[in-house]
Chains A and B, each alone.
Chain A
Amino acid sequence: MRLCHGRRLRVLTVAAVLTLSFHGLSRAVTYNLRADYGSVTMPDGRVIPVWGFALGSGPVTIPGPTLEVPAGDTTLVINLTNNLAKPVSLVVAGLPATLSPVFDSGTPTRVVSFTHEAAPAGGPATYTFTGVRPGTFLYESGTDPSLEVQMGLFGAIVVRPATAGRAYDAPASAYDHEVVMLVSEIDPVFHDTVAQGKYAPEKTPETALPGEVTSTIDYHPKYFLVNDRPYTDPYAPFAGGRAGETTLIRLINAGLQTHSMELQGTRMDVIAQDGNLLGHPRTGRVSESLEAGQTLDILIRPATAGLYAFYDRRLNVTNAGAFPGGILAFIEVSPASGTVVKAHVQADGPARYCAGNVRRLDASRSTVLGCTSTPTYQWRLGGAPIAAATGVNYDVAQPAGAYSYTVDVTCPGGPAVTDTLAPPAVLEVVADVAPAEVTGLTVARKEFGILSATRDGLVIGWSPAAGAVSYIVYISATPSGPWTPYALGVTAIPTVVAVPSGTAYFRVAAVNFCGTVGP
């Protein structure tokens, strides 16, 4: 998981697979993307299966890698390979391309993709955008988008103008720092349904089996992300430079809902929309609507050092209902002058996690300004320095318990400036105790629909087991097994499953926070 902001963007430009070919004055930049399976873990520990993009053979990220088109390049080429079992394609609203829609073989035919596809299990396909212009854009799959975009096949594109330090060629778009904030939403039930092969768009709600989802109409997001994660502590704010400087926020909405982005403590000047510089900026905004698929370029110039809260005023500021979370961010502005060191840490996963795992604490997003030497780090546990823990990262491999970590970040030499992380990064390591046995199993057949027997379901109930966060329903043709999973990740008791053919036996097992399955 990676947060894309100014420093990372520049790193990515170097790290990306770049093929520069010169055609007179214009050049092309080429990225090799891969569509693949992956997963992201939400701050409450819920693992979300996703389909996402990756650079080359790198890891799948949500959102996909930010693709930067350097100054002078007017052609963007994306070579896409596809490891998914579904065709995938790539479209960018706002960048010129010749689209070749794909139709199915039905009568009449139906469009299945806005443009040519990368075939399942390989591909490849090449997408070429010519005459690209500066701005902030969103790339996403153009195939079955109601499914594939929601599953995670999207990312940001930043096209740079000729003049460095500007969002567009216009002087009014000049900035000192930039951040990309791509917001998105996750409906975990939909992701689980797709991953379990129970997404059945060919069916209707009347003909679907229990557990199947037939469309995205019942879309019900529970998680709301800014770049690769919802708000979670420990939190590293976005870097907003020094007081009086200008920060460019490239705001992108890859979700399906309208968000209303509210900034506290300073005003927003919206200078561009959908990659188009506005003739007159919308100055001084406190809250600005960000529609699905829209991009906004916003300049802020906070006069005072401090943290500035930036969040969805539609109050999607929870993780599955738990505040704080969701689309909530802080932008940090440092004092106008002097050496500044401010410790910030983020973790590579939830602060509450299962024993036996390693959690990496990362201080690389600490703020260090005006420091002429390389900052040094000293990690602490409960206030006491940890021997040899002086790297920018620290890997925590602790038994069950609660641990409070801080880090000192120091600018050595000159006027030595040190800052210690506050508040601390508190990690809770949970013991992996097998959940109790499930008792009180009941099975009843129930007719849910009036159209056909396929709407019959089996209502399976049981008594909640200690330590359970979910359950697995197993099925067997004999009372003694072998048992195969029939419904996974069940959280509702009772649950409804499809009626199997013949005689069937059921067993239910509890799954604990660590994923350990009980008896």
Chain B
Amino acid sequence: MDRQAFRFARAALIVAVLAAAGGAAPASAAISGITGTTFNFTARDGFLANPDGSYIYFWGLADDGGTGEVQLPGPTLILSQGTMVTINLTNMLPEPVSLVFPGQEGPTQPVYDANGRLRSLAQEAAPSGGTRTYTFTAGAPGTYYYQSGTHLDKQIPLGLYGAIIVRPPIAGQAYADAATAYDREYLLLLADLDHRLSTAAESGLSFDSTDWIAGYWFINGRSATDTMSEDNVPWLPNQPYGAMVSMHPGETILLRVLNMGRDPHPFHTHGNHVLAVGRDGRLLSTGGAAGADLAEFHFTVPAGSGQTWDGLFTWSADNLGWDVYGHAPGDPMQVGEYAPDHGKAIPTQTPYLTSLQYGDLYSGSPLLGQTGPLPPDHPGLNQTGAFFYMWHSHRENEMTNLNDFPGGMMTMLAIEAPWVPIP
């Protein structure tokens, strides 16, 4: 394989920016999840593979209709509004577990032990093979979640949670309002973990959750830099969901940000601000035909625990002052191009190659969608000339894996040239 062919072979891996290697399918711009009306879940234990080389014990849910692998987060349920949902839960864990569905209508059904002590916020599946069926009707459109209703301070942080997406009847919108239309959508499920809880649970010991100090932070169940690997990569069998975000200039993407952790995770986007249009499955609106008139811009989405934020994000090289495509005046416009800068040259002269320090994500060209010469030892990770922006927890210490930077709650946005296909 000559170098050029090798580079093209790796082009499919462009979204695996810092991943070591692999040949899996590219990340999907759709949210990975499962659809339907009846789901069969098994709660069991497993190990998370972390980029720092550690393996962390966790409790998760497996989709028995799919791979059957226990996963973090649990399978994402993608539902149509009004769907009557049935979840059959089998519990292979050593203690009772249950599921609750915050944001869905209906009172709590607490369970008490023989001594009159509250044990659970929902009927449980007994340990070691017990089953329990849960039903609910997918209510208003938006981003929701499920989580354990038993021994909350232990079972939720250990991993018994997952996202629920309820879609309105109109495709391509977050809500039944045209102001929430999008071209692509991404789920960013934020979570945290004190690994001492995991160690204690693995050994069957108790952990005083008031001593909680998180040391690992996840997006979609992965810590950076694994967040940037594709969905379903074979080396992360229990963490199937990637968190890489890709888009073309001029597109609008919908970000479904939800915080399943214990701590607040203010989520910071580089590249542009996020227009929050929904909270907890409610259009930010004064109501009626007013549209998303209470939408608000954030460069830090203040995602508190248990909150979901639906936000729109656009990028079109606005106000850079130069043409990211390197057009000459009179060239045709690209789709989504920022017109006022059309034909304006980049206001700098590229230094001699020997004077440059090459980042791993530099394509060899400052122009979008173009590549250029790179030194022989460069990893060549950016084969499509994409622009990359880091997205991360704005609590900067959360960009670590047990205090090692970079890691934790961090991923990348890739702006791809219009001619580069995003699956």
Interface residues of chain A, those whose CB is within 8 Å of chain B, are 220-222, 231, 233-235, 258, 260, 262-267, 280, 282-289, 302-309, 311, 313-318, 320-321, 323-324, 330, 333, 402, 404, 423-426
Question: Which residue of A has the minimal Cβ distance to B157?
Answer: A315
Whether B294 contacts A280 by the Cβ 8 Å rule is yes
> Do the beta carbons of B304 and A287 come within 8 Å of each other?
yes
B107 near A315 with CB under 8 A, answer no
Please determine whether A330 and B110 come into contact, CB atoms closer than 8 angstroms.
Answer: yes
Taking a contact as CB atoms under 8 Å apart, the answer to whether B105 and A425 are in contact is no
CB distance from A150 to the nearest CB of B (A): 16
Contacts of B282 on A, CB cut-off 8 Å?
A: 267, 283-285
A285–B129 alpha-carbon span in the complex (Å): 36
C-alpha gap A288/B259 in the complex (Å): 12
Residues A222 and B210 in contact, CB atoms below 8 Å apart: yes
B102 within 8 A of A: yes
Indicate whether B117 reaches chain A with its CB closer than 8 angstroms. Answer: yes
1/0 per residue, CB under 8 A from A, across B304-331: the answer is 1111100000000000000000000000
Question: Would you call B116 and A289 a contact (CB within 8 A)?
Answer: no
A328 to chain B, nearest CB (A): 8
Look across to chain B and name the residue whose beta carbon is closest to the beta carbon of A402: B115
Is there an interface contact between A320 and B208, defined as CB atoms closer than 8 Å? yes
User: Does B134 count as interface, using CB distance less than 8 angstroms?
Assistant: no
The number of chain B residues touching the other chain, given as a range, is 35 or more
Contact: B154 with A264, CB < 8 Å? no
Q: How far is the CA of A307 from the CA of B281 in the complex (A)?
A: 22
Least CB distance from B11 to A in Å reads 41
B79-121 CB mask vs A (1 if < 8 Å, else 0) is 0000000000000000000001011111111101001111101
The contact sample of 23 A-B pairs, CB cut-off 8 A, is A221-B210, A233-B117, A258-B304, A260-B307, A262-B102, A263-B102, A265-B105, A265-B107, A286-B102, A286-B103, A287-B102, A306-B107, A306-B108, A306-B109, A313-B306, A314-B262, A315-B209, A316-B153, A320-B210, A321-B211, A323-B152, A423-B112, A426-B115
Docked pose: A323 CA to B286 CA in angstroms = 40
Number of A-B contacts (CB under 8 A): 141
Residue in contact with B116 in the complex, picked from A307, A314, A321, A426, CB distance below 8 Å: A426
- 6 smallest CB-CB distances across A and B, nearest first, come from A306-B107, A287-B306, A321-B208, A313-B306, A284-B282, A423-B116
With both chains docked as a complex, state the minimum distance between the C-beta of B199 and any C-beta of chain A, in angstroms. 15
Decide: A287 and B207 in contact? CB cutoff 8 A.
no
- Please report the C-alpha to C-alpha distance between residue A436 and residue B140 in the assembled complex, in whole angstroms: 62
Task: Please name all residues of chain B whose beta carbon is closer than 8 Å to the beta carbon of A306 when the two chains form the complex.
Answer: 106-109
Q: Check B151 for interface membership: any CB of A closer than 8 A.
A: yes
For A333, the chain B residues whose CB sits under 8 A away are 107
A315–B152 touching, CB < 8 Å = yes
Contact residues in A for B110 (Cβ distance below 8 Å)? 307, 309, 330
B263 part of interface (Cβ distance < 8 Å): yes
Q: Please give, as numbers and ranges, the residues of chain A lying within 8 Å of B112 by CB-CB distance.
A: 233, 423
A5 CA to B255 CA in the complex, in Å?
Answer: 40
Query: How many angstroms between the C-alpha atoms of A64 and B272 in the bound complex?
Result: 47
In the complex, whether B302 has a CB less than 8 A from a CB of chain A is: yes
Chain A CB within 8 A of B167 CB = no
Query: Is the beta-carbon distance between A321 and B207 smaller than 8 angstroms?
Result: yes
B195 at the interface (CB under 8 A from A): no
How many Å from the CB of B185 to the closest CB on chain A? Answer: 20
Which residues of the other chain, A, contact B105 by a CB distance below 8 angstroms?
265-266, 303-304
**Among B157, B207, B286, B305, which residue has the most Cβ atoms of chain A within 10 A?**
B305
Q: Does B45 belong to the interface (CB within 8 Å)?
A: no
Q: Is B280 an interface residue (CB 8 A)?
A: yes
In this complex, the member of A264, A318, A321, A404 whose beta carbon has the largest number of chain B beta carbons within 10 angstroms is: A264
B156 within 8 A of A: yes
CB distance from A323 to the nearest CB of B (A): 5
Main secondary structure, interface of A, reads loop
Known interface pairs A265-B106, A266-B105, A315-B156; A285-B116 also in contact (CB < 8 Å): no
Q: Which B residues lie at the A interface, using CB under 8 A?
A: 100, 102-110, 112, 115-119, 121, 140, 144, 151-154, 156-157, 206-212, 262-264, 279-282, 286, 294, 302, 304-308
Q: Which residue of B lies closest to A320 (CB)?
A: B210
Q: Which of B153, B157, B302 has the most CB of A within 10 A?
A: B153
- Chain A residues contacting B304 (CB-CB under 8 Å) are 258, 260, 287-289, 313
Q: Report the bound CA distance from A368 to B164 in whole Å.
A: 38
Q: Looking at the assembled complex, report how far the CB atom of B102 sits from the nearest CB atom of chain A, in whole angstroms.
A: 5
Contacts of B206 in A (CB 8 A): 321
B118 touches which one: A233, A266, A304 (CB < 8 A)?
A: A233
Q: Is the CB of B118 within 8 A of A314?
A: no
List residues of chain A with CB within 8 A of the CB of B308: 286
Among B104, B108, B119, B212, the one with the most A-chain Cβ atoms within 10 Å of its Cβ is: B108
B208 touches A404 (CB 8 A): no
Interface contact A311-B152, CB-CB below 8 Å: yes
Residues of B within 8 A of A307 (CB): 107-110
Residues of A within 8 A of B144 (CB): 286
Q: Within the complex, what minimum Cβ distance (angstroms) separates A353 from chain B?
A: 14
User: Which A residues lie within 8 Å of B100 (CB)?
Assistant: 264
A308-B107, A315-B153 are known contacts; what are 11 more A-B pairs with Cβ within 8 Å?
A221-B210, A260-B307, A265-B106, A267-B280, A284-B140, A306-B107, A315-B305, A317-B152, A320-B208, A324-B119, A333-B107
Known: A315-B153, A321-B207, A321-B211. A308 touches B108 (CB 8 A): yes
Task: Give min CB distance, B204 to chain A, whole Å.
Answer: 16
Q: A307-B108, A309-B108, A321-B210 in contact; A284/B281 too (CB < 8 A)?
A: yes
- Give CA–CA (A285, B279) in the complex, Å: 7
Q: Contacts A320-B210, A321-B207; is A289 near B307 (CB within 8 Å)?
A: yes
Do the beta carbons of A315 and B262 come within 8 Å of each other? Answer: yes
Q: Bound complex: CA of A29 vs CA of B307, how far in Å?
A: 40
**A138 to B144 Cα, complex, angstroms:** 33
Bound form: Cα–Cα A286–B279 in Å: 9
Pair A286/B294 contact, Cβ less than 8 Å: no
Determine if A309 and B264 form an interchain contact, defined as CB atoms under 8 angstroms apart: no
Are A286 and B281 within 8 A (Cβ)? Answer: yes
Query: Could you tell me the distance in whole angstroms from the C-beta of B276 to the nearest C-beta in chain A?
Result: 12
- Complex CA distance for A263 and B107, rounded to whole angstroms: 10
Closest to A243 in B: B107
State A241–B166 Cα separation when bound (angstroms).
Answer: 31
Residues of B within 8 A of A315 (CB): 152-153, 156-157, 209, 212, 262, 305
Q: Whole-angstrom distance from the CB of A95 to the nearest CB of chain B?
A: 27
Q: Which of B117, B209, B210, B286 has the most CB of A within 10 A?
A: B210
Contacts of A318 in B (CB 8 A): 153, 208-210
Q: In angstroms, how far is the closest chain A Cβ from the Cβ of B53? A: 28
* Closest Cβ–Cβ distance, residue A260 to chain B (whole Å): 4
Q: Which of B106, B140, B211, B264 contacts A260 (CB 8 A)?
A: B264
Say whether, besides A287-B305, A315-B156, A304 and B106 are in contact (CB < 8 Å). Answer: yes
- Chain B residues with CB under 8 Å of A330's CB are 108, 110
Q: Select A424's contact among B103, B116, B119, B262, beta carbons within 8 Å.
A: B116
Min CB distance B124 to A, Å, is 14
